[in-house]
Chain A
Amino acid sequence: MSLDSDDVKRIAHLARLAIDEQDISTYATNLSNILGLVEQMSAVDTDQVSPMAHPLDEVQRLRTDAVTEQNQREHYQSIAPQVEEGHYLVPRVIE
């Protein structure tokens, strides 16, 4: 699969990444090359193979339903870019 500039722009938008206009063609080339490498997988028939999501054949452990966390708002918000009255701030969102 070869990606063009429009593909790169679409993917960058989906991933919310600002990409400089001048770098787009380089990304297109690099990403296309990577996909070329990745597509070597098509050499092997995997029709009968079940997908492996995880290295270990284990099941999810369950936690007791208990409140173990205390309020640490000031501590956590001390590293936040912008807060006001306990809220994290973002540019106004219109719904």
Chain B
Amino acid sequence: MYQMTIAELAAGLKSGQFSSEELTQSYLQRIKQYDPELNSYITVLEEQALAQAKAADQRLASGTAGPLTGIPLAQKDIFCTNGVKTSCGSKMLDNFISPYDATVIEKFNAAGAVMLGKTNMDEFAMGSSNETSFYGAVKNPWNTKAVPGGSSGGSAAAVAARLAAAATGTDTGGSIRQPAALCGITGIKPTYGRVSRYGMIAFASSLDQAGTMTQTAEDSALMLQVMAGFDERDSTCLDKAVPDYTANLNDDIKGLKIGLPKEYFAEGLDSDLAKVVEAAIDEYKKLGAEVVEISLPNSALSVPAYYVVAPAECSSNLSRFDGVRFGHRCDDPQDLEDLYKRSRGEGFGSEVKRRIMIGTYALSAGYYDAYYLKAQKVRQLISDDFKQAFKDVDVIMAPTTPTVAFNIGEKADDPITMYLSDINTIAVNLAGLPGMSIPAGFSKEMPVGLQIIGNYFDEARLLNVAHQYQTVTDWHRRMPEQFA
């Protein structure tokens, strides 16, 4: 059963081939067997999951089931889950039992999905390798010496090793697409404002967006259908009708105009990986797409701009972790300042501290214009590049990452090298556009991701384009043998 996609599992549940309880049991069994090696979960919710599964079985029996009813999913530990530890990968929240549900969690609950557990992640979603987690590094199921990517590394590894039917992720600078690419699965980061951020612990509010991590584009469509939509509790969530994401999956893509930004195929791109991506593009040509070279001239500035905007927002967003109302509090504070400094000093790891300090500095008196304001202007230029490009093309394609998964520890001590591993994904967040990564083959026996970037609110087209590729390839069905 574990090899099945959501769509296949839903059919199995509906036909009575197996029950949600059986299905949930089998995933829980696999988690017990394999996760000690992978470390993809922070919390496994055995009892709760089985209770949800039983409820789902009743709903299936009563004929009121939806496509996700009874499907065992993993939730990134960034989403607040009522009564369940929500750590965000941090010691700061190791003792935090969320008193409420995120909107996304409410929606999955309403859909009757089963929550197997909460997945590991880089601390407060700050990282590209899942090594900054307080709960330890996650291993890449394709090679357990390699990183799974980050920050949604736990979700990516869990789906790749089939320890959940699918998972949620969040993407601030590539945190869905990069781990999806490195773990050989499908992931979509929707347009900023498509999915509610309420209850999703904020890293950088103007960049964060929740999305899906699945085996297939079809599964992503099914998941996104549940997640997307207006939420009156999030001012940045748009009141805009959600299309039926599965309706156009099978449309052919003859005449689709694909733009290939030359800046993404330049220096720094691994040549073997580039060949895999080119082969994928050739596949699209065979499907009838037209390919043109485009330019996104300010691409090189996306990492610099991002490392001002994201830390600035995070420095403010993380001020609420002060040891007063929830979370870690130091022992025997001498005075208020001691309470703040030690609680935060002990609760946050070094990458989080680095970003808080960069952001604090960038916003401080005398530096605001040179850093923050400048970054906002560069952000505008980057966004304008995409607007220009989408006048001529329907989608943009590029490698999701410049290299395949690197080894654990390889970049951990060098923040800059680590930051540059997100070079292909960050611009999309700055612009607020939707982006996907789909499995496109292998390089050096490790998965390669093809990134597909769409225009604002064009998720249905992205899913269609991804699905068409998946009807003629089977990279997305491959799984690491060690966990089969």
Shortest Cβ distance from A49 into B: residue: B377
* Residues of A close to B339: CB separation below 8 A: 90-91
Alpha-carbon separation in the docked complex, A51 to B368 (Å): 12
Query: Shortest beta-carbon distance, A60 to chain B, in Å?
Result: 6
Given contacts A17-B345, A50-B380, A51-B380, contact A56 B236 (CB under 8 A): yes
- How many angstroms between the C-alpha atoms of A52 and B374 in the bound complex? 10
CB within 8 Å of A: which of B27-61?
none
Determine the chain A residues whose CB is within 8 A of the CB of B303 once the complex forms: 37
Instruction: Please classify how large the interface on chain A is, using the bins under 10, 10 to 19, 20 to 34, 35 or more.
Output: 35 or more
| Inter-subunit contact B354/A81 (CB<8 Å) | no
Interface size range on B against A: 35 or more
Structural contact, A37 and B325, CB atoms closer than 8 A: no
Partner of B361, one of A31, A54, A88, A91: A31
Contact check: which of B232, B345, B362, B374 meets A42 at CB < 8 Å?
B374
The answer to whether A16 touches B377, judged by C-beta atoms less than 8 angstroms apart, is no
**How far, in whole Å, are A94 and B277 apart by their CA atoms in the complex?**
63
Find chain A residues with CB under 8 A from B354 CB. 27, 30-31, 34
Instruction: Please state if A88 and B360 are interface contacts (CB–CB under 8 Å).
Output: no
Bound-state CA distance A60–B343 (Å) is 35
CA distance A54 to B232 in the complex (A): 19
| B380 A15 Cβ-Cβ under 8 A | no
- Check A51 against B97 for contact (C-beta < 8 Å): no
Which has the most chain A C-beta neighbours within 10 Å: B333, B357, B378? B357
Whether B285 sits at the interface, judged by CB under 8 Å, is no
Q: A46-B378, A55-B206, A88-B324 are in contact. Are A16 and B361 (CB under 8 A)?
A: no
Question: Closest CB of chain B to A57's CB: distance in Å?
Answer: 10
Please report which residues of chain A, range 10-48, place their CB below 8 angstroms from some CB of chain B when the two chains form the complex: 11-19, 23, 27, 30-31, 33-35, 37-44, 46
Interface stretch (choices B3-11, B256-264, B304-312, B466-474): B304-312
Minimum CB–CB distance from B417 to chain A (whole Å) comes to 10
Is B377 in contact with A15, judged by CB distance below 8 angstroms?
A: no
> Considering the chains assembled together, what is the distance between the CA atoms of A40 and B323 in angstroms?
37
Q: What residues of chain A lie closer than 8 Å to B189, measured between beta carbons?
A: none
A50 to B380 Cα, complex, angstroms: 7
Closest Cβ of chain A to B168, distance in Å, is: 21
Q: Are B377 and A51 in contact (CB under 8 A)?
A: yes
* Distance between Cα atoms of A40 and B303 in the complex (Å): 9
A82 and B343 alpha carbons, distance in the complex (Å)? 13
Question: Which of B95, B322, B375, B378 is packed against the most chain A CB atoms within 10 Å?
Answer: B378
Given the complex, which residues of A lie within 8 Å of B364, measured CB to CB? Answer: 11, 14
Report the nearest A residue to B192, measured CB to CB. A55
The interface residues of chain B lying within 8 Å CB-to-CB of A75 are 99
Say yes or no: B419 contacts A37, CB within 8 Å: yes
**Is the CB–CB distance between A33 and B415 below 8 Å?**
yes
Residues of A within 8 A of B380 (CB): 46, 49-52
CB distance from B458 to the nearest CB of A (A): 14
Q: Which positions in A face B, CB cutoff 8 Å?
A: 3, 7-8, 11-19, 23, 27, 30-31, 33-35, 37-44, 46, 49-56, 58, 60-61, 63, 72, 75-76, 78-82, 88, 90-93
What are 15 A-to-B residue pairs whose CB atoms are below 8 Å? A15-B356, A17-B345, A18-B342, A19-B353, A34-B354, A35-B358, A35-B361, A37-B303, A40-B304, A51-B376, A79-B99, A81-B323, A81-B324, A88-B324, A88-B325
In the complex, besides A27-B354, A37-B303, A54-B236, 19 extra interface pairs with C-beta distance below 8 angstroms are A11-B361, A12-B357, A15-B360, A17-B345, A18-B344, A19-B345, A19-B353, A38-B304, A41-B301, A41-B308, A42-B374, A46-B374, A49-B378, A51-B373, A56-B432, A76-B99, A80-B324, A88-B324, A93-B336
